[in-house]
């Protein structure tokens, strides 16, 4: 379902709309046989066809994967207060630790 979200997001952006359209205009649903657009009421933009959405598959997959990597990095970085304390005590050790996290968790 996440990949559908990113395909719709990219479709919106390609048509000069923003992700904020999801707030009250788009409802995605998955009844167990795959995600689909349940509700579409974006002003001035027709609901995308499957073909239109599938044209964003590669970029949506990349964005989905990178968001997973960002979440993982955020967990590994730790609390910002702890990071600031670490920087104050030994900025070089902090830089080394953060660089290792980035190297071990590369974005696409």
Q: What is the pLDDT along the chain (108 residues), one digit of tens a residue?
A: 678 999 999 999 999 999 899 888 999 999 988 899 999 999 999 999 999 999 999 999 999 999 999 999 999 999 999 999 999 999 999 999 999 999 999 998
Cite the beta strand spans of 6-104 per DSSP E.
26-30, 35-40
Bridge partners of residue 39, in order along the sequence: 27
pTM for the complete prediction? Answer: 0.73
Beta bridge partners of 40: 26
Reported as type and span, the H/E element at residue 95 is: helix 80-104
């Amino acid at each position: 379902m996440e990949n559908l979200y990113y395909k719709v997001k990219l479709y919106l952006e390609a048509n000069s709309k923003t992700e904020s359209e999801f707030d009250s205009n788009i409802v995605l649903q998955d009844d167990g046989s795959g995600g689909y657009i349940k509700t579409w009421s974006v002003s001035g933009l027709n609901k995308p066809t499957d073909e239109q959405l599938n044209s964003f598959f590669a970029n949506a997959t990349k964005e989905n994967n990178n968001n997973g990597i960002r979440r993982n990095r955020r967990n590994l970085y730790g609390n910002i207060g702890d990071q600031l304390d670490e920087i104050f005590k030994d900025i070089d050790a902090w830089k080394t630790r953060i660089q290792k996290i980035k190297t071990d968790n590369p974005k696409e």
